[in-house]
């Protein structure tokens, strides 16, 4: 079992397969992708080796992230490799939903059983303003298809003061839509300090509003992420809150991250990634990678330092998938 020096156990791996993204979200890549699209991202054999090593150490949940994972042509093969790995119980992916109606069937057929899609506004004009794409209806159609296929669907919305902080439209949607909508606090990154100062809004005020309106907490499973989830008997959907600035947010940390270039990130906001790519090669003994992971995990810090205005080496969230 992957356990750090504080006794926290890690059942959940967020695996980035590319840092390329085709959206221009105001809180992440307002000027579009500025990286190197031809960079040598992890190969399928390296991904298989990595997932096998983590699974043998007790990892039960894999989330494929980016950038935008669907920009990799071999995504169905990556999904299948993860789904076929012994010990992996949940295979999830986070996507911006680009061309989702055309692609979701193939992903589910390959083994995907949970999908998170980013929808920061249910107003088409506001959605286009935030993301740079007028694709809201296409994404909603894709979500409907995902629900028809029986996979668990969650929607992510970055909570931004002055942009999408009026919750009535979201609540009206959840009345009849059986998804979990998760509001994520804007997090300060190296490229977007000014945006953070202007638009950050604490999720605690939303939490209090929900409790006042009869929403009730949902018990967390051990492999769940950091969201506090709530349900209401009058709503088909649920609401989750991800509040990284809240007290003791890191106490229940259960996730690790591997970037698309083979760097282990012990925290989303660590100063730098730890290079494990030499141990990810298919010809290496998986036990060597496991030994390396166990050793590196002992250096995981007790907490991030976001509350001190320190975002580490994270310049934007597309780099390691949030």
What DSSP line would sit under 85-138, residue for residue? Answer: STT--EEEEEE--TTHHHHHHHHHHHT--EEEEE-S-SSHHHHHHHHS---HHH
Name the token pair of 289: 């990678």
**pLDDT value at residue 308:** 46
Give the separation between CA 32 and CA 273, rounded to whole angstroms: 23
CA dihedral angle for residue 55, residue 56, residue 60, residue 61, rounded to 10 degrees? -20
Q: Is the pLDDT of residue 222 over 70?
A: no
Sign of CA dihedral 35, 254, 111, 121: negative
Backbone angles phi, psi at 92, to 5 degrees: -115, 165
Q: Is the pLDDT of residue 288 over 60?
A: yes
What's the residue count for the chain?
A: 322
pTM (predicted TM-score): 0.88
**DSSP tag of 219:** P
CA dihedral angle for residue 260, residue 104, residue 87, residue 182, rounded to 10 degrees? 80
pLDDT digits (tens, 9 = 90+) for 140-181: 999 999 999 999 999 999 888 877 777 888 999 999 999 999
From the centroid of its chain, how far is CA 138?
A: 21
Q: What residue spans define the domains of the chain? A: 12-308
Instruction: Give the CATH architecture of domain 12-308.
Output: Alpha-Beta Barrel (3.20)
**DSSP tag of 41:** P
pLDDT digits (tens, 9 = 90+) for 295-317: 999 988 776 555 545 554 555 55
């Amino acid at each position: 079992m992957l356990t750090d020096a504080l006794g926290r156990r890690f059942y959940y791996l967020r695996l980035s397969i590319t840092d390329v993204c085709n959206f221009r979200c105001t809180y992440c890549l307002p000027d579009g992708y500025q990286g190197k699209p031809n960079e040598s991202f992890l190969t399928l054999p390296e991904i298989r080796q990595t997932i096998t090593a983590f699974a043998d150490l007790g990892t039960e949940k894999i989330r494929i992230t980016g950038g935008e994972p669907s920009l990799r042509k071999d995504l169905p093969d990556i999904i299948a490799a993860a789904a076929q790995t012994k010990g992996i119980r949940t295979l999830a992916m986070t996507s911006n939903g680009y061309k989702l109606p055309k692609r979701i069937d193939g992903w589910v057929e390959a083994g995907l059983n949970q999908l998170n899609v980013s929808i920061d506004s249910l107003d088409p004009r506001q959605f286009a303003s935030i993301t740079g794409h007028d694709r809201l209806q296409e994404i909603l159609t894709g979500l409907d298809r995902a629900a028809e296929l029986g996979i668990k669907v969650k929607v992510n919305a970055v909570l931004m003061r002055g942009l999408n902080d009026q919750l009535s439209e979201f609540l009206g949607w959840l009345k009849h839509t059986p998804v979990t909508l998760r509001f994520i606090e804007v997090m300060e990154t190296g490229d977007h300090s000014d945006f953070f100062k202007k638009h950050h809004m604490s999720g605690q005020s939303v939490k209090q509003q929900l409790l006042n309106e009869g929403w009730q907490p949902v018990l967390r499973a051990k492999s769940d992420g950091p969201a506090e989830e709530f349900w209401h008997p009058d709503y088909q959907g649920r609401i989750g809150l991800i509040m990284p600035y809240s007290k003791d947010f890191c106490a229940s940390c259960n996730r690790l991250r591997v970037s698309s270039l083979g760097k282990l990130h012990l925290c989303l906001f660590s100063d730098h990634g730890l290079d494990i790519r030499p141990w990810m090669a298919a010809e290496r003994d998986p036990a060597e990678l496991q030994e390396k992971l166990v050793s590196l995990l002992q250096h995981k810090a007790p907490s991030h330092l976001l509350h001190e205005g320190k975002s580490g080496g994270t310049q934007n969230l597309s780099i390691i998938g949030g």
